[in-house]
Amino acid sequence: MPATIIQTNHTPFEKKAIDPVTLDIIENALRNARIEMDATLVRTAMSPGIREQGDAFPLIADHTGKMIVGQFGSFIGGFLDNWEGTLEDGDMIFLSDPYSCAGAVSHSNDWLVLLPVFKDGRLIAYTSMFGHQSDIGGKVVGSMPINARSIFEEGVRIPPVKIWKKGEYNEDLMRLVMHQTRKPDWCQADLNALIASCRVAARRVIEMAARFGDDVYISATQELLARNHRAMKSLIAMAIGEEPVSFEDYICDDGMGSGPYKIKCTMWREGEKVVLDFSGTDPQSQASINFYLNENMFKMFFGIYMIMVFDPQILFNDGFYDLIDVRIPEGSLLKPKFPAALSGRTHALGRIFDILGGLLGQKTPEFLNAAGFSSSPHLFYSGNDKKGDWFQLFQIGFGGIPGRPMGDGPDGHSLWPGFTNVPNEFLERYFPLLIERYETEPDSGGAGLHRGGNGIHMTYRFLASGTISIHDDRWFVPPWGVNGGEPGKRARKVLEKADGTAQIIGNKVEDVHVEEGDQLHFITWGGGGWGDPLERDPALVGKEIIQGLVTVDGARAYGVVAASNGDIDQAATEALRTKMRAERPALELFNYGPGVEQLRASCFAETGLPAPVQPQWALLEAAE
């Protein structure tokens, strides 16, 4: 049974003609309401992940549940179809279980609240916000066990429930949920922040409806959806061909000895619609790298990519969803069967964007992006400090954004444009550690006419013994370059002990013991390069040597001979470039790196399932 919406005012909405000025005012007011949701959240939350990094995502939808402003696309239609209950004024829904909302949240750490907005007895909108909780219980600190074999090992799962019912707060439910987490103070504050954000947006919607009239407000939201539909229809016709185009990329491993895992997507246009078919993607993993990909979420990813490449002025909303057909095989890495573990899904989530770039750019290479910062590297550090107090840190790392048609990829940036780094001063104030180094990793961005962004080299010195865990990828399959650009360098992690010895540790490791004085070198990968490196301005390369973004040796990848002060030897540079052009093969659309194709093939058994990976350094030596 679908949800029953209880309204005391059953007057239907009347469609109104909306003039451009009114539409512009309402559109920008909604954009501002979304920004106000974010501001409310970061001023109220306590965990570093939300308060400092902004790991939360707002949504304002129309009265039918279609997103008008937001980031991930609306899950509300699917929720309403499966909610066997009522929704009325004073209610608020709370959930975190991906399997109960078709992947609208993709792991249980993401807590979501949904507020139906009523005015004068009529439902006029929905507001929603979800954010990543730093700990929800489970077998490991941070609740994201690499070796989890089912979602039951990943902490508390919350099905859709009413956290508020007719204006009354469900305190018993909250006591039960908070009892499961190692950080109830953070979780309670963060949940309150999610609720406050939704209420702020609801007030703004009601104010707009009161100012312009309910019918005008609703009609404006429908025009915003229709405008997006018209724009996306034109973009699809322009950029997507009827001939199928395929692209595939890989998650390096699952942290339990198997990999790489293939994600494949084929795209073509049928009339006005674009079809995106993930047939050929590997079966679900035994471990937690599975990503339950919600179809509407992927439609929004596709739409955002199209809009940002071709027309950034278009407002993101759900108006174009009927123009996209997404097909994801059951039991695959992107649609695992219950109760598959999901907590480590960020690698596949990020890789989706690289695959979109590879698909959309084949017809129009001039708009093609290289592969980039396609994950969210995680560091967990926990234990008891010298006073005996418990501490635990969850931090998201940054890396290199890919080289793009319009210029270089940013250095040390986030996959999600709204994220910010945790200030080092914050880390050193609240956790027993020192940040010895925080800088870009020179030469890690792929060489190109437009250089890939460099990754980050961050060195932590631990001031208390404890355990660390690392979730990262791109240590084996590098971010590929395009249009002649070179791949970015891979990620790596080195643990330097207090006695001076050092060891390479994996990029997916759990419960690694560290002592006071140990240092962790947390190095993320760079973005792939765009275009022929030998066409890059030598003077720009010299400037980047001075800035520490490129080394003297690294400059030779651009055919540039330079001194450590950035001075260019013009004659030597011209000679080197002439020699390199004569000796290199023809430039290809995609550059995956030397030997990687053969290594990928060798990692798959005849069954097509990922075979056990070799030790990381052996694979890297073979690839290089």
CA angle, corner 563, sides to 558 and 566, nearest 5? Answer: 75
Mean pLDDT of the chain: 91
Contact (Cβ atoms closer than 8 angstroms) between residue 352 and residue 375:
no
- Per-residue pLDDT reduced to its tens digit, 118-141: 999 999 999 999 999 999 999 999
In the predicted model, what is the mean pLDDT of residues 348-355? 92
Query: In sequence order, what are the beta bridge partners of 520?
Result: 460, 495
Using alpha carbons, select from 347, 316, 319 the residue that is nearest to residue 106: 347
Could you give the CA distance from residue 281 to residue 394 in angstroms, rounded to a whole number? Answer: 30
pTM of the predicted protein model: 0.91
- How far CA 57 is from CA of 46, 73, 260, 292, in Å, comes to 16, 10, 30, 18
- Per-residue pLDDT reduced to its tens digit, 477-486: 899 999 999 9
Instruction: Band the pLDDT of 610: cuts 50, 70, 90.
Output: very low
Strands 378-384 and 390-396, by their bridges, are antiparallel
**151: Cβ contacts below 8 Å, ≥ 6 apart:** 98, 99, 108, 157, 338, 339, 340, 341, 342, 343
**577: Cβ contacts below 8 Å, ≥ 6 apart:** 534, 559
For the four alpha carbons of 428, 434, 436 and 440, in that order, the dihedral sign comes to negative
Report DSSP letters for 245-267, one per residue.
EEEEEEE---SSSB--EEEEEEE
- Per-residue pLDDT reduced to its tens digit, 221-275: 999 999 999 989 988 988 888 999 999 999 999 998 888 899 999 999 999 999 9
> What pLDDT sits at residue 309?
67
pLDDT value at 331 more than 50: yes
Using alpha carbons, select from 120, 111, 235, 135 the residue that is nearest to residue 183: 135
Instruction: Band the pLDDT of 20: cuts 50, 70, 90.
Output: very high
pLDDT cut 70: percent of the chain above it: 94
Could you give the CA distance from residue 31 to residue 19 in angstroms, rounded to a whole number? Answer: 19
For the four alpha carbons of 356, 361, 366 and 372, in that order, the dihedral sign comes to positive
Please count the helices (runs of H) and the strands (runs of E) in the chain.
14, 24
Write out the two tokens for 121. Answer: 């007895």
Instruction: Band the pLDDT of 619: cuts 50, 70, 90.
Output: very low
- Per-residue pLDDT reduced to its tens digit, 407-462: 999 999 887 767 888 899 999 999 999 999 999 999 999 999 999 999 999 999 99
Using alpha carbons, select from 332, 378, 476, 302 the residue that is nearest to residue 146: 378
Contact (Cβ atoms closer than 8 angstroms) between residue 527 and residue 441:
no
> What pLDDT sits at residue 595?
53
- Per-residue pLDDT reduced to its tens digit, 299-310: 988 888 777 766
Contact (Cβ atoms closer than 8 angstroms) between residue 107 and residue 98:
yes
pLDDT value at 100 more than 70: yes
| CA 453 distance to own-chain centroid | 17
Max Cα-Cα span within the chain:
82
Could you give the CA distance from residue 403 to residue 206 in angstroms, rounded to a whole number? Answer: 43
pLDDT value at 605 more than 90: no
pLDDT value at 623 more than 50: no
Using alpha carbons, select from 264, 278, 238, 250 the residue that is nearest to residue 363: 238
- Per-residue pLDDT reduced to its tens digit, 195-233: 999 999 999 999 999 999 999 999 999 999 999 999 899
Contact (Cβ atoms closer than 8 angstroms) between residue 386 and residue 433:
no
Lowest mean pLDDT among 509-523, 524-538, 604-618: 604-618
pLDDT value at 616 more than 80: no
**Strand-by-strand arrangement of the 456-462 sheet:** 433-440, 456-462, 519-523, 492-496, 502-505
Contact (Cβ atoms closer than 8 angstroms) between residue 361 and residue 355:
no
Report DSSP letters for 171-207, one per residue.
HHHHHHHHTT-S-HHHHHHHHHHHHHHHHHHHHHHHH
Angle in degrees, 0-180, between the axes of helices 184-212 and 171-178, rounded to the nearest 10: 140
Using alpha carbons, select from 511, 538, 476 the residue that is nearest to residue 253: 476
282 CB neighbour count, 10 Å cutoff: 22
Contact (Cβ atoms closer than 8 angstroms) between residue 85 and residue 1:
no
pLDDT value at 599 more than 80: no
**353: Cβ contacts below 8 Å, ≥ 6 apart:** 301, 305, 372, 374, 415
In the predicted model, what is the mean pLDDT of residues 541-561? 97
